[in-house]
Chains A and B, each alone.
Chain A
């Protein structure tokens, strides 16, 4: 019987990786996502890449938003992506990076599998709209 109503929600992990201790932006994003009707898991500060992988896999998030302001994105993001692949969770997770990312690096990150990079000043609606339009297909 299929009378039961499906109650799907967009699940996001907002992640702070590495030593950068500035999470005001991550908080603002988390709230905006919540107000958009998403379920947001916030990682907390100073997380190691493997912690982010653990959280993304266990929480089975549709969207992984990584906030990095320290400039260590070229080291940290590949580690997260490798970890996701290890658990077979890379293909159907939408990976976003927020922070201060030079243009050259942005191309490299996208090459690796990051769907989009959002720099300072990106309107919140733009990010939310991007997520809605690019949600991974799931069984």
Chain B
């Protein structure tokens, strides 16, 4: 499959891609900006980078505000650097729905990696429309991957579908929980629980840590239910036959990953080494069980779908404009001159004709 006009690389962009692949930080930063801006030509850039991706371990970190994500990410990055790995971080913060403005504060915590350019830290905000954020994040991760980063960490507040989508673009997902957040653990049950490969009780030197650990352990080993028998789980994990046997039970089924529950004190770095070991174990598990392939297939399928939907949606929007704009159409419905179904059919018809025409 070749490149079409939409993904052709402009002259200046070819040089930009070359510079990025050659290790220019400036070029990497600029490419991520182009991706964030959805600037003309960014698709060509990402398309050109794609063949250079696939080597990095991608880790997602999510959790409630104040759980210590940024501090932990800082310590993780430093620990990976000690191992000799290069690190990329994409930190996502919400933006104001009114002004679009944002204060991106995650960088303040990056104190352990001062002046170390081999930790590339990038703050992103949730610009624009729904679904766009996870696309932009995934594309930024590709840029970091193509640049040659060994480990890429995506950090985001774990509130809402947007963030869940973002973090789902990672191979390994860690969910951070604060001690004493009894009700928070309850809320984790919906949505977040299914996406965690590792659960981390951070600030584990605080009161209530043991209890939160115990609650998480209990939940992890009882996570049959909503995802049982479905193919929709994050990594297609399956519930063990004897969930009550817990970790002592040797996993006879190689494809099953039972989420680990760990404790850290990000401030002091306690537990960070164990956390990295667990990330590595999960990455190894994904590779050896073959789950990585189904994970990637699902992710790329989602990307293709999202892109196609957004492009077809844009075609439809253009067609609506040609017919006088959405307000005029809505008024004609209000006046009972037509109805929404007929209008939608009329608008989609020319697009459908093109698709059918190609087949004939």
User: A residues engaging B (CB < 8 A)?
Assistant: 1-9, 11, 30-31, 33-44, 48, 50-51, 54-55, 57-60, 87-89, 139
Q: Taking chain B's interface residues, is the majority helix, strand, or loop, or is none over half, making it mixed?
A: mixed
- Does B85 make an interface contact (CB < 8 A)? no
Indicate if the CB atoms of B127 and A7 lie closer than 8 Å: yes
Indicate if the CB atoms of A139 and B104 lie closer than 8 Å: no
Collect the chain A residues with CB atoms within 8 Å of residue B284's CB: none
Complex CA distance for A34 and B33, rounded to whole angstroms: 18
Indicate if the CB atoms of A89 and B102 lie closer than 8 Å: no
Closest 4 CB pairs of A and B: A3-B314, A44-B108, A60-B29, A34-B101
Indicate if the CB atoms of A9 and B310 lie closer than 8 Å: no
- When C-beta atoms are compared, the residue in chain B nearest to A30 turns out to be B103
Q: Which of B117-125, B174-182, B183-191, B352-360 contacts A (4 or more CB under 8 A)?
A: B117-125
For B101, give its contact among A2, A40, A50, A54 (CB under 8 Å): A40
For B107, give its contact among A1, A34, A36, A42 (CB under 8 Å): A42
14 A-B contact pairs sorted by A residue (CB < 8 Å) = A3-B315, A7-B36, A9-B127, A30-B103, A34-B101, A39-B101, A39-B104, A42-B103, A51-B114, A57-B26, A59-B123, A87-B26, A88-B24, A89-B29
Given contacts A7-B132, A89-B26, contact A31 B107 (CB under 8 A): no
- Extra inter-chain contacts (13) besides given A7-B132, A60-B33, CB under 8 Å: A1-B5, A3-B317, A6-B40, A7-B36, A7-B38, A8-B39, A34-B102, A41-B104, A48-B115, A54-B117, A55-B121, A60-B30, A60-B32
User: B residues engaging A (CB < 8 A)?
Assistant: 5-6, 12, 24-26, 29-30, 32-33, 36-40, 95-96, 99-105, 107-108, 111, 114-117, 120-123, 125, 127-128, 132, 310-311, 314-315, 317-318
Indicate if the CB atoms of B128 and A5 lie closer than 8 Å: yes
Complex CA distance for A44 and B132, rounded to whole angstroms: 29
Collect the chain B residues with CB atoms within 8 Å of residue A43's CB: 107-108
For B122, give its contact among A30, A33, A36, A59 (CB under 8 Å): A59
Given contacts A1-B314, A7-B128, A58-B122, contact A35 B101 (CB under 8 A): yes
Indicate if the CB atoms of B107 and A44 lie closer than 8 Å: yes
Indicate if the CB atoms of B107 and A33 lie closer than 8 Å: no
Complex CA distance for A87 and B310, rounded to whole angstroms: 36
Indicate if the CB atoms of B101 and A36 lie closer than 8 Å: yes
B34 to chain A, nearest CB (A): 9
Q: Taking chain A's interface residues, is the majority helix, strand, or loop, or is none over half, making it mixed?
A: loop
Complex CA distance for A41 and B95, rounded to whole angstroms: 12
For A39, give its contact among B125, B314, B315 (CB under 8 Å): B125
B298 to chain A, nearest CB (A): 24
Indicate if the CB atoms of B103 and A9 lie closer than 8 Å: no
- When C-beta atoms are compared, the residue in chain A nearest to B317 turns out to be A3
Collect the chain B residues with CB atoms within 8 Å of residue A3's CB: 311, 314-315, 317-318
Given contacts A30-B103, A50-B115, A58-B122, contact A6 B37 (CB under 8 A): yes
Indicate if the CB atoms of A7 and B37 lie closer than 8 Å: yes
Collect the chain B residues with CB atoms within 8 Å of residue A31's CB: 103
Complex CA distance for A40 and B108, rounded to whole angstroms: 12
A26 to chain B, nearest CB (A): 11
Complex CA distance for A35 and B101, rounded to whole angstroms: 6
Complex CA distance for A40 and B93, rounded to whole angstroms: 11
Collect the chain A residues with CB atoms within 8 Å of residue B37's CB: 6-9
Collect the chain A residues with CB atoms within 8 Å of residue B128's CB: 5, 7
- When C-beta atoms are compared, the residue in chain A nearest to B307 turns out to be A4
Scoring A31, A59, A89 by chain B CB atoms within 10 A of each residue's CB, the highest score goes to: A59
Collect the chain B residues with CB atoms within 8 Å of residue A38's CB: 101
Scoring B30, B101, B102 by chain A CB atoms within 10 A of each residue's CB, the highest score goes to: B101
Complex CA distance for A3 and B33, rounded to whole angstroms: 19
Collect the chain A residues with CB atoms within 8 Å of residue B105's CB: 42
Collect the chain A residues with CB atoms within 8 Å of residue B95's CB: 39
Complex CA distance for A36 and B102, rounded to whole angstroms: 9
Complex CA distance for A1 and B3, rounded to whole angstroms: 12
Indicate if the CB atoms of B107 and A41 lie closer than 8 Å: yes
Complex CA distance for A57 and B33, rounded to whole angstroms: 11
Complex CA distance for A88 and B29, rounded to whole angstroms: 12
Scoring B25, B32, B99, B104 by chain A CB atoms within 10 A of each residue's CB, the highest score goes to: B104
Complex CA distance for A87 and B29, rounded to whole angstroms: 11
Collect the chain B residues with CB atoms within 8 Å of residue A89's CB: 26, 29
- When C-beta atoms are compared, the residue in chain B nearest to A33 turns out to be B101
Collect the chain B residues with CB atoms within 8 Å of residue A35's CB: 96, 99, 101
Collect the chain B residues with CB atoms within 8 Å of residue A1's CB: 5-6, 311, 314
Indicate if the CB atoms of A88 and B26 lie closer than 8 Å: yes
